[in-house]
């Protein structure tokens, strides 16, 4: 894998078809938007064909897949094979990250297979976020400013998170909860970055 050299400003962010988690997608949306990216967030449990159709329609610079349910190596490999088989999408830059399997530290074994399958970047949970930022050229700290307010995910019929449906949680309530969780996680991430900067200055 080599670092992206073309500017990446337009992103589609999505989960894989079996993953009902949303906070990670909103987190990535916040991260990319803070660095000036235009983000289309498809949400959770998005079918493969919907992702393909949205990429064809929106023409993003990068498709970012995030998964935390441990099935990323299965769903991701299936999806990337479909994407690479589409003549007009075969050169689309696609990355995947998160919890790619359920084997803990052994999840790193899935990285090579996913890269060989066609992903331009594969990022396992441990250290994955920093590597993801460096891969996309986002490692520089943006100027301090108010966090962007995340836009709600694109409404794709039939892709609502199963957990929310079963709990009777409506989309608005789920959106508020997910946005709060993602914002808290992102603020914690920014605090860690600030601490690392202070430590680096102290040791310089």
- At a CB cut-off of 8 Å and minimum separation 6, what does 125 contact? 68, 97, 98, 99, 100, 107
What average pLDDT values come out for the chain (204 residues) when binned by 10 residues?
Answer: 61 96 91 92 96 97 93 94 97 92 72 93 79 80 49 54 50 60 65 59 57
Helix axes 72-84, 109-117, angle to 10 degrees: 10
- Going from N- to C-terminal start, the domains of the chain cover 10-142+156-203
**What local confidence, expressed as pLDDT, does residue 124 receive?**
80
Strands (E) located in the chain: 10-14, 38-43, 62-67, 93-98, 121-124
pTM here?
0.71
**What local confidence, expressed as pLDDT, does residue 146 receive?**
47
**What local confidence, expressed as pLDDT, does residue 111 receive?**
87
Say if CB 120 and CB 94 are below 8 A apart.
Answer: yes
* Gap between the Cα atoms of 161 and 115, Å rounded: 28
**What local confidence, expressed as pLDDT, does residue 46 receive?**
96
**What local confidence, expressed as pLDDT, does residue 95 receive?**
96
CATH 3.40.50.10320 is the classification of domain 10-142+156-203 = no
* Gap between the Cα atoms of 131 and 145, Å rounded: 23
């Amino acid at each position: 894998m080599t670092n992206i050299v073309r500017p990446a400003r337009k992103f589609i962010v999505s989960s894989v078809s079996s993953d009902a988690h949303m906070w990670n997608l909103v987190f990535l949306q916040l991260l990319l938007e803070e660095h000036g990216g235009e983000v289309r967030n498809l949400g959770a449990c998005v079918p493969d064909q919907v992702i393909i159709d949205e990429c064809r329609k929106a023409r993003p610079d990068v498709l970012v897949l995030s998964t935390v349910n441990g099935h990323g190596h299965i769903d991701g490999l299936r999806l990337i094979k479909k994407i690479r088989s589409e003549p007009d999408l075969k050169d689309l830059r696609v990355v995947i990250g998160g919890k790619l399997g359920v084997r803990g530290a052994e999840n790193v074994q899935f990285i090579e297979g996913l890269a060989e399958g066609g992903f331009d970047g594969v990022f396992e949970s441990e250290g994955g976020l920093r590597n993801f930022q460096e891969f996309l050229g986002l490692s520089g700290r943006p100027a301090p400013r108010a966090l962007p307010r995340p836009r709600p995910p694109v409404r794709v019929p039939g892709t609502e998170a199963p957990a929310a449906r079963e709990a009777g949680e409506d989309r608005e309530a789920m959106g508020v909860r997910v946005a709060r969780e993602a914002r808290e996680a992102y603020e914690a991430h920014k605090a860690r970055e600030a601490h690392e900067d202070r430590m680096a200055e102290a040791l310089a």
